[in-house]
Structure 1
């Protein structure tokens, strides 16, 4: 059995994929962790520039998205819309994780169980705390309209959880298709994306199908990275990929086929996000050596080693924290500058650091829910029915929120559904290790590790 994330040839054939030739171990790039951490900081900073609640004389509160109201935002959004890059990197690490699990005797249901647990547990805590906190505010006399506004704004990151979880759960199936025909698989997904985009005007509900097609296509770029596809491309090819994807993006937005605002294109996603993903993936490869050098600096490694294990907790909690701080600020006598003044933009700097300061204890308390679940000795995992049921239980409230909007009641129902899913998923089973290769003696005193493999960092499986 190989230790580099690729299953043995016999296991590949057993799962219906062609057996790849043996190749040197492909190590995890330090740049991946650094890029993820940087992207996360950019997301937090961008939301600090967007959230702007306004208290009116009649006691009502409205909110403006100040950043999106700027005339210069559309072109800048092309550069800073880094959500596709999250899915590219998630596809790369997810494929490596799936291959390691298969090599240790796991199957698709084991993979789904681990992925669900790692993503649902942090979200369960968030929904429960938001539901309790907002109910307390309602009982203390806060206007129900303000409660609804805070509910809608603070829970915006949940769409990402739904999209990311959908893409991750598809990895076992998409990996099989990728193993047989990687380029054909990507091409079919592109055709499906364009078909859905073409019909969304007549049937708007169809647009949400691209939550699957777009993010699975972007994830396939991560598969290609994991297999070294971009390693074999020269600078000219990479620059050409960046230029051509942006030229096409400029054409389809310039003629009005798609909006030029990438935030508008984000939910539900469309072809623009895939074009951005191609450009970002090629850019990442082009800048790989420089990013790698920074990522190997000791203090950078120390920061990322801590923050990387809690990235999902930071993502889920940063917007509720920002909304809560903004709401509390309205209750003080502090004079807030209008958002069309320069002082408002300068005030975003202390707001950003205030959010980070509040996030630190939140991450310390709830971050452990993000730890990768491990197997107890001789633990038996849940049945396949339980795993499928847990997935359905998770997606029902998420789909309801996507189509009908998030309410206080749905927050409580979502927290209950997520808790039920965690109970259904139960323990992580101990994987069945494949037999050792011939002529390799088995140490009599060695204790074999179960999931996760000894020495792997927690965020390696993200």
Structure 2
């Protein structure tokens, strides 16, 4: 796979190691870029077939998940539940990023600083704009239920942000465990996932602990793939892993230990998604020779590169925009076919087109927030206390939204917390050309292996 050679174990967060030469700038992993683009596109398309607000005769508004009501959907989602694949890809690039930063003398706190800024700056903008816009809508008399529908649309992407941040911020620690014993580290996380699943019946709130354990375990699969020698395991072994994983998934769902609907298994996450992640990671490795050729095509590289630079903005904004468009259409006389009818299904391409059109100005205005936030080579690094405080500040509103639901007031509070975290984190010093200071190597740097 062309990944860096494994280095001797280092302290997980200190980064204090002997002098090592700067590693060469890595080549862009086009297959991982393509996999991420596929995941993002599938999520956006899937959401256009799920959100279906209904305006009732008494003026109330409810929402239906039309796709989830289809009988054919449950087996299909086994194939198209791509969230595990996204975390596998994040594990591959995250491990590479941490090892490069560590080799330059960087610490786990600097890694956390970069990861937090990369993710929360776009989210802070989304929450601030939504709070201001929806507050103004309430003042102008828009129905509270329509406002609540749009608020709910913002809440769904935030759970992913929380899960992804939790997994990425643990990379320095998990990478240290992986360097010592990769399979033991994965087994330990898997055991924690199973333990939570076993105890969640008596204490339902405990199930949310798997937002950390489950997604860290799936991310650990990416670590293993990142260190896999080229062309290994063999194709027959990978096919066997895919078949065995799906048979195990069929067994645990067939026995009634878990639901067969992967959307149900997603919130809160459980062991099924780890098993699915094993199958998807093996499939990615098996398909790598073919995907390498596809990803190398110029037009594919152009499309994937353009989308990849703004992927978090697309993910965070597409569902609120979809909810806003759907909610506002309820207030007009625009034809609204009943959910699940032929007319409704035929309207989905138009809905997708509408979301793409709305995303264009959003990407133009807010997409730059995803660019790597760097300062001069002589900027001071943030103290560890500032990074830890920023993590706490970010997770307070996210946890509140997860347990109590997102409200208009929480949107405003979340925007303030995220903005405070950005101020606490500052900007990231980049190394001067030919120098060794700064946690980030000189540009250009591949987007999928940042920071």
Q: Cα offset for 1:10? A: 9.4
Contact kept? 1:44, 1:318, Cα under 8 Å: yes
Q: Cα offset for 1:248? A: 0.7
Q: 1:25 to 1:385 in 2, by over 3 A?
A: closer
Structure 2 residue aligned with 1:404: 404
Which TM-score applies when normalising by structure 2? Answer: 0.93
Q: Cα offset for 1:330? A: 1.7
Q: Distance in 2 between matches of 1:108 and 1:447?
A: 20
Structure 1 residue aligned with 2:235: 235
Secondary structure, in 3 states, of the residue corresponding to 2:63?
Answer: strand
Q: Cα offset for 1:332? A: 2.3
Q: Cα offset for 1:25? A: 9.4
Q: Distance in 1 between matches of 2:3 and 2:264?
A: 40
Q: Deviations over 1:321-343 (max 9, x none)?
A: 11111122222222221123112
Task: Spell out the pairing of 1:32-47 with structure 2 (5 A cutoff).
Answer: 32-47=32-47
Structure 2 residue aligned with 1:148: 148
Contact kept? 2:25, 2:445, Cα under 8 Å: no
Structure 1 residue aligned with 2:282: 282
State the number of aligned residues. Answer: 446
Q: Distance in 2 between matches of 1:16 and 1:405?
A: 42
Secondary structure, in 3 states, of the residue corresponding to 2:375?
Answer: coil
Structure 2 residue aligned with 1:453: 442
Q: Cα offset for 1:204? A: 0.5
Structure 2 residue aligned with 1:122: 122
Structure 2 residue aligned with 1:108: 108
Q: Which stretch of structure 1 is more off in the superposition, 341-350 or 311-320?
A: 341-350
Structure 1 residue aligned with 2:202: 202
Q: Cα offset for 1:155? A: 2.2
Secondary structure, in 3 states, of the residue corresponding to 1:63?
Answer: strand
- Indicate whether 1:417 and 2:406 are aligned: no
Contact kept? 1:159, 1:402, Cα under 8 Å: yes
Q: Distance in 1 between matches of 2:409 and 2:203?
A: 29
Q: Distance in 2 between matches of 1:231 and 1:193?
A: 30
Structure 1 gap ranges (5+): 434-444
Q: Deviations over 1:195-229 (max 9, x none)?
A: 11000000111101111110010001111111125
Q: 1:5 to 1:229 in 2, by over 3 A?
A: closer
Structure 2 gap ranges (5+): none
Q: 1:312 to 1:351 in 2, by over 3 A?
A: same
Q: 1:17 to 1:47 in 2, by over 3 A?
A: farther
Contact kept? 1:7, 1:103, Cα under 8 Å: no
Q: Cα offset for 1:365? A: 0.7
Q: Distance in 2 between matches of 1:447 and 1:200?
A: 51
Q: Cα offset for 1:39? A: 1.1
- Indicate whether 1:360 and 2:360 are aligned: yes
Q: Cα offset for 1:87? A: 0.5
Contact kept? 2:15, 2:107, Cα under 8 Å: no
Q: Cα offset for 1:66? A: 0.2
Contact kept? 2:163, 2:211, Cα under 8 Å: yes
Q: Distance in 2 between matches of 1:298 and 1:15?
A: 39
Q: Cα offset for 1:409? A: 0.3
Structure 2 residue aligned with 1:436: none
Q: Distance in 2 between matches of 1:16 and 1:240?
A: 41
